[in-house]
A and B are shown apart, each in its own frame.
Chain A
Amino acid sequence: MAVTTMIGAKIHRREDPRLVSGEGRYIDDFTRPGTVYLSVVRSPHAHALIKSVDITAASKAPGVVAIYTHKDFAKVISGTMPAAPAFVAEKKQIPPRFPIAEKEVVYQGEPVAVVLTEAKYQSMDAANLIEVEYEPLPAVMDLEQALEAKSPKAHSGAPDNLGWDLTYIPEDANVMKEADVVVKQRILQQRLAPTPMEPRGVLAEYSRPDQSMTIWMSSQNPHFIRLFLAGALGIPETRIRVISPDVGGGFGSKISPYSEDYLVPAAAKLSGRPVKWIETRTESIQTTTHGRGQYFDVEAGAKKDGTLVALKVTQYLDIGAYVGTFGAFQACACLLSTGAYNWKHVSARTVGILTNRVPTDPYRGAGRPEATHLCERMIDLLADALHMDPAEIRRKNFITEFPHTSHFGLVYDSGAYEKAMDMAMEIAGYEKLRREQAEGRKKGRYLGIGVSAWIEICGFGPSAATAPATGGVALVESAQVRVFPTGSVTVYVGTHSHGQGHDTTFPQIVADTLGVPYDMIELRHGDTAEGPAFGYGTYGSRSLAVGGMAVHKASMKVVNKAKKLAAHLFEAAEEDVVFDQGHFYVKGSPDKRKALGEIAFASFGAGLPEGMEHGLEAVAYYDPSNFVWPFGTHIAVVEVDAETGAVDLQRYIAVDDCGNIINPMIVDGQIHGGIAQGISQALYEEVVYDDETGQLKTGTMIDYLVPTMNEFPNFELGRTITPSPTNELGVKGIGEAGTIASSIAVINAVCDALAPFGIKHVDMPASPDRLWKQIKQAREHSNGGKEARK
């Protein structure tokens, strides 16, 4: 048996030497001979008819190679952009989406024309000379108004703005009557711009003689892009190569195909030149898909003693002007709404609404932060109504038996929720914090403690569930392990790291499975020309649980073949051959051992067993039997300055359980980054539009508030380990966990801080101006209407 040495070790990342030296290769670092630069002319209106496009002046601008509009692209792009069923199998309408507008624009930033120039700087000059005449139309901005009969339509020809209306579990009007207390709350999930530090970019080159297209782009899943483009461009998958090199962050925003992913290759085909487009930050905030963008109406009921009785959830989801490829994924917020608890009854319904904004699509957590946020908020509201400590009500209702089948038919694989919460409480010093809070209140200081006991579903996913969700492609994962005559190993995997350190962690798995030295193992990913026929990408915290398992499975196939060959070479029965730490030997004769590398060399020689082919390599596709279910408890400690409404986040504690761990350093890094994004949603970030005109108001990083390191404390981490029974490695996912837990930890803390004012709920972002207004109104209310002095 192999002794594990690499799995669990804090190995420093292989990716880092090149990245810290400025030798990372991100999309803007690539060019091809003869490259021309593409700028996109975009609609300045949220909704308008295109009356005319005049390219006369632009055509004469210096360096212009070509200008293309819809009529040009219609010659080389067919069909419409994809919209997967995701968690809403049946939709009422899916507006057809072509990568560039023809007669009507339906979101600010929608492409209307593109210009290609010889030099980079010329393309913006030329683009500014293209004159487009628009007839503005009313913009659909408000979700509630959008559903009214008299509302304008986000698309002129559409019957209404309803994208879907799906009830997962119908409401039973009687169940809430079983409860002793019932709380109701509307909870807002503001639109967020994922804002990876590297914006998007595409470089495409078409070879006319080969009729083949090579595309470099910043993507989380190059094979899916190849699949979509093959259909649209009419080029078989065999002649499209998509290369995603180093990717500077994605967080879900580099999954779905974008207009530019079609337009740039098409422009390469039309022009006969390599074409390059790099997104500006303004384009990114405006046109890269947004996260969240929902509100929930939630009702929760409990018994006097805190036993949870019923939860009723209605999700209203801002689809945007088109359904994002995975825009219906976030409906899973309904399916996870019961959180870590036993609820007697639950009902859930999702309503998707079309508006004149860029589509929403997955963003770190994709539905699970929303679920955790609403569940943990309602738990706190119930605790408040029952005068119960927030930790107590949680303990009382935690799921304790696993596997656990939820109301929605999902099977939670393993968990130890109370253990994680106990550890978090201890690290936080919960009792001491409550005492400090009580003391502070006497002196007019408002400390708040917020608990977030989170669970989540990740490791997408089992074929039975995921194939229908994607429209036919199950989200399994592929890997290929190839051993070379010299004994070194290359591993190809279909996931695609964009900061998660796969170059380091997957070889750790292979090193332990094959017993080959870590330094002899190379990981390849991100190029569709390499490895198995399909790869599925990195998102949904799946890379380890599904990709790592595919790597492990392919490695085991190699070990099994090597064992057969070793037995043959030893002239022994296979069952008498032992494999230990990379060496084969016959039981009882460990000194006469052969390394896997020797067996590899032998596999290229003569005298192989009857029926065995040469070489030592294997392809494996791994289909997980279930999703995996990490969990934990986070605690945020804040102080609210009641005079200004400013929130000081003083401490942040996180105890997370992602099963067995391959590299603890990388796990902690993922948690840190995830926590920061959730805190940022709670306190800082928001995409803001003008309600009337639909104009984006937060179009730069001046106004879209990504925080600096001064806005966060250090994060105090703890860990429990509850292996997953779902896979042999016992691993779960952790990439999104931090974000799933943290927004509500902070908001619960702010609400806790403001409880003395009678404030029951706070929406995100809890910015100072908003909190001040709430505090002022609460004071006026409690003063019997007397104007608050401060």
Chain B
Amino acid sequence: MIPAAFEYARASSVEEAAKLLNKYGEDAKVLAGGHSLIPLMRLRLAQPKALVDINGIKGLDQIKEQGSKLHIGALTRHVTIQNSAVVKDKLPILAEVAGEVGDNQVRNMGTIGGVVAHADAAGDYPTIALMLDAEIVTNQRTIAAKDFFKDLFTTPLAADEIVTEIVFPVANGPHKYIKFRRRLFDWAIVGAAAQKMNGGWRIGLTNVGPTPVRAKAVEEALHSGAKPEDAAQHASDGLNPSGDLRASPEYKKHLARVLTKRAIEQAG
């Protein structure tokens, strides 16, 4: 399958990238890891008139701890996050999630900024970002995760706006991400994340709606002393997932409850 023709430009700085995106307008797309974009282009489901390649921009792939925050550069590849000693120490759930994205080849190219900007409901990082109140930093502003994932594939990013880093809180208490899928390299049918922090729990869900979900009802139930099994029953509160080839809406809601229970029980 061959993509439609497009113009191509490499940016060596964020400013240059923004300028190029401005030049090409709405019809341009950022090329980072390309592992969400290029498959869509090969199927001609996306036909951008221009690609702005940002892989050459230096300094966008740093991992830094500052205070109680962990800054992950947008161009950081999944494999780097997976293997990073800093991430494993300060926010281990993120390293584990990174290690479950796609397969080894995908992890060598795919970037956290790309996954977050793509805002696929089946993406794993958005769930963690939302659950932990991360911040998405762009070349124009900082956007709270809860304001970032508007709808499926929909974010508030402007045409010339580029994600530069994502800022997470440090959290290295009990945690678990359970990604339920058929084959090891598939997207999640449903995913459930549990992170104990600041004396309470954060619970996030993948692929149970058009955007990631933070299961506040579960968090509150746990806070009130409910057992994991009982608290997890609230995981499906307010959910209205769409059905697909792998799962009916009912099954997704059921999985949300079961996987949430297991994530809490297995968090270590």
Contacts and interface: CB of A to CB of B under 8 A. Distances in A.
Interface of A: 120-121, 124-125, 128, 280, 282, 643-644, 646, 684, 688, 697-698, 700, 703, 705, 707-708, 710-711, 767-769, 772-773, 790
Contacts, number: 51
Given A125-B4, A697-B245, A705 B251 contact: no
A710 B183 contact: yes
Contacts of A125: 2, 4-5
B183 A644 contact: no
A644 B182 contact: no
A40 to B, nearest CB: 13
B156 to A, nearest CB: 28
B260 to A, nearest CB: 12
Interface in B177-191: 180, 182-185, 189
Interface residues of B, number: 21
The 8 residue pairs across chains A and B that have the minimum distance between CB atoms:
A710-B184, A769-B251, A124-B2, A643-B258, A121-B2, A769-B247, A708-B183, A280-B1
B245 A708 contact: no
A705 B2 contact: no
B248 interface: yes
A140 B248 CA distance: 25
Interface string B224-265: 000000000000000000000111100100110010000000
A754 B40 CA distance: 40
Task: Label chain A's interface by main secondary structure.
Answer: loop
Nearest to A699: B43
Contacts of B245: 688, 697-698, 703
Contacts of A698: 245
Nearest to B247: A769
A688 B246 CA distance: 11
Question: Which of B103, B180, B189, B251 has the most chain A CB within a 10 Å cutoff?
Answer: B251
Given A708-B103, A768-B180, A790-B254, 13 more contacts: A120-B2, A121-B2, A125-B4, A282-B1, A684-B183, A705-B182, A711-B183, A711-B184, A768-B182, A768-B251, A772-B254, A773-B248, A790-B258
B204 to A, nearest CB: 19
A301 B254 CA distance: 40
Contacts of B183: 684, 705, 707-708, 710-711
A643 B255 CA distance: 8
Given A772-B254, A790-B258, A644 B184 contact: no
B246 A769 contact: yes
A498 B63 CA distance: 49
Interface string B124-140: 00000000000000000
B247 to A, nearest CB: 5
Question: Which of B180, B183, B185, B258 has the most chain A CB within a 10 Å cutoff?
Answer: B183
Contacts of B180: 644, 646, 768
Contacts of A684: 182-183
B258 A769 contact: no
A263 to B, nearest CB: 20
B102 to A, nearest CB: 12
Contact of A767 (B2, B4, B103, B246): B246
Nearest to A686: B245
A128 B2 CA distance: 11
Nearest to A683: B182
Contacts of A703: 245
Nearest to A788: B254
A644 B255 contact: yes
A280 B4 CA distance: 16
A85 B184 CA distance: 43
Contacts of B4: 125
Nearest to A765: B182
B193 to A, nearest CB: 17
A700 to B, nearest CB: 8
A512 to B, nearest CB: 44
Contacts of B184: 708, 710-711
15 contacts: A125-B2, A125-B4, A643-B258, A644-B258, A684-B182, A684-B183, A698-B245, A703-B245, A705-B182, A708-B103, A708-B185, A711-B182, A768-B251, A769-B251, A790-B258
Contacts of A768: 180, 182, 189, 251
A773 B251 contact: yes
A644 B256 CA distance: 10
Nearest to A280: B1
Contacts of B258: 643-644, 790
A221 to B, nearest CB: 29
Question: Which of A644, A684, A697 has the most chain B CB within a 10 Å cutoff?
Answer: A644
A302 to B, nearest CB: 37
B11 to A, nearest CB: 25
B46 to A, nearest CB: 15
Interface string B39-53: 000011000000000
Contacts of A700: 43
Nearest to A645: B251
A671 B5 CA distance: 45
A648 to B, nearest CB: 12
Contacts of A644: 180, 255, 258
Contact of A772 (B1, B103, B185, B251): B251
Contacts of A772: 251, 254
Contacts of B248: 769, 773
A125 B189 CA distance: 34
